[in-house]
Amino acid sequence: MSNDTNILGYHPGSTFFHQLNGTTKILGLVLLTLIGMISFNTWYLILLCVLSVVAFISAKIKWQEVRTLTIAIILFTLLNLVLIYAFGPNYGSALYHSRHVIIGGNSFFALTWEELFYLFNMFLKYLFAVPLVYVFLFTTNPSEFAASLNRIGIPYKISYSIAIALRYIPDVQYEFHQISLSQQARGLELSKKAHLWRRLTSSSRILIPLIFNSLDRIETVSRAMRLRRFGTRKTRTWYMNKPGSKKDWWMLGIIVGLTILGLLLFIVDSGRYFNPFK
């Protein structure tokens, strides 16, 4: 199962982003996502998009590994934009205090440049963070991530639970597959030879053993952890804790710089919105 390459998880490597500390990456992800969510300065959002694509490329993530998910996210975003338009086609005009109609004259659903520009901003906001999340997931070792979370103040029991959940996802996938196979070998038809509905309802049979097995596993693992003294002290150290290097300070500098730039633009634009229609 470890052979499966289409897993959203840590892929060992030696790129710049692999070498960065987990703390740097989580701080970068959080700060940039926040400022990107708040800001409506189009140039700034474009800059973030370009930088995050650069990060994606330099982390050497294969497009194939994320293609399906990315396409799904883009489609979902587009659907979302259509809905935003459908529910408030005049929101852009209200926001930018002007109205330049492209098509539709005076009707309620008239498409304006202002609305289109607003939707374009939204589109950038939704998408700029996606490559960053990929970079984070693909280049950050879960254990190191747990260590990072712990370092920025999250209790170690919670940090470790997150890491261990990430670690067991492939195992549970494998187990599900095994149980499904053994149920088929008892006479449950789940192949293409059965009707879709039958296959769906039959699949529910797999869940019961899967849940029981997972519960058993949780029990055994937590026992194994306690036998090696997990959870008895207030603090814990981490084998995978990486000390910050110069690279991290550089990166943090860039991240903080970008964040400050975003904040400064609020003053320049006198508010969150860059308005080209003024």
Partner 1 sequence: MSQSPIIQFEHVNFQYESQTEPTLKDINFTIQKGEKVLIAGPSGSGKSTLGKILNGMIPEDYPGELSGNITINGQSFNDLDVFKLSFEVGTVLQDPDSQFVGLTVAEDIAFALENDAKPQSEIHQRVSDWAKRLDVAEIISNHPQDISGGQKQRVSLAGVLIGDEPILLLDEPLANLDPAAGEASIELLDHLSHKEDLTVIIIEHRIEEVLHRPIDRLLLIDDGKLIANDTPNQILKSGVLTEVGLREPLYLTALRACGIEVSELPEVDELSKIELPDNGTAVLQWDVEHPIQPNSDGAEPLLEIRNLQFNYPNRSIFNNFNLTINKGEMVAIVGKNGTGKTTLSNLITGFLHPNQGEIKLAGTNLDDLSIKERAEHIGYILQDPNQMISKDMIFDEVALGLRLRGLDEEIIKEKVLSTLKVTGLYPFRNWPIRALSFGQKKRVTIASILVLDPEVMILDEPTAGQDLAHYSEIMDFLEELNRTQQLTTIFITHDMYLMLEYADRAVALSDGEIIADTLPINVLTNDDVVKAASLTHTSLQSLGTLANLENPARFAQGFVDYQKEVRHHE
Q: Of 4, 58, 200, 260, which one interacts with partner 1 (CB under 8 A)?
A: 4
Q: Of 76, 109, 212, 250, which one interacts with partner 1 (CB under 8 A)?
A: 212
Question: Closest separation between CB of residue 53 and partner 1, Å?
Answer: 29
Which 8-state DSSP code applies to residue 40?
B
Helix (H) or strand (E) holding 268: helix 246-268
Q: Which of residues 214-243 bind partner 1 (CB under 8 A)?
A: 216-217, 220-221, 223-233, 235-241
Question: Closest separation between CB of residue 193 and partner 1, Å?
Answer: 5
CA distances from 50 to 36, 55, 273 (A): 13, 9, 20
Q: Which of residues 132-151 bind partner 1 (CB under 8 A)?
A: 141-143
Question: Closest separation between CB of residue 11 and partner 1, Å?
Answer: 12
Q: Residue 267 half-sphere exposure, CB side, CA atoms within 13 Å? A: 4
Say what the alpha-carbon torsion angle 266, 251, 8, 84 is, to the nearest 10 degrees.
10
Site string for partner 1, 152-191 (x = CB under 8 A): -----------xx--x---x---x--xx-xxxxxxxxxxx
How far is residue 81's CA from residue 73's CA, in Å, rounded to a whole number? Answer: 12
Residue with tokens 């800059």, as numbered in its chain: 47
| Nearer to partner 1 (CB atom), residue 5 or residue 106 | 5
Q: Residue 117 half-sphere exposure, CB side, CA atoms within 13 Å? A: 23
N- to C-terminal Cα separation, the chain? 58
Size of the site for partner 1 (CB under 8 A): 55
Question: Closest separation between CB of residue 137 and partner 1, Å?
Answer: 14
Given the rule CB under 8 A, which residues bind partner 1?
1-5, 141-143, 163-164, 167, 171, 175, 178-179, 181-191, 193, 205-206, 208-209, 212-213, 216-217, 220-221, 223-233, 235-241
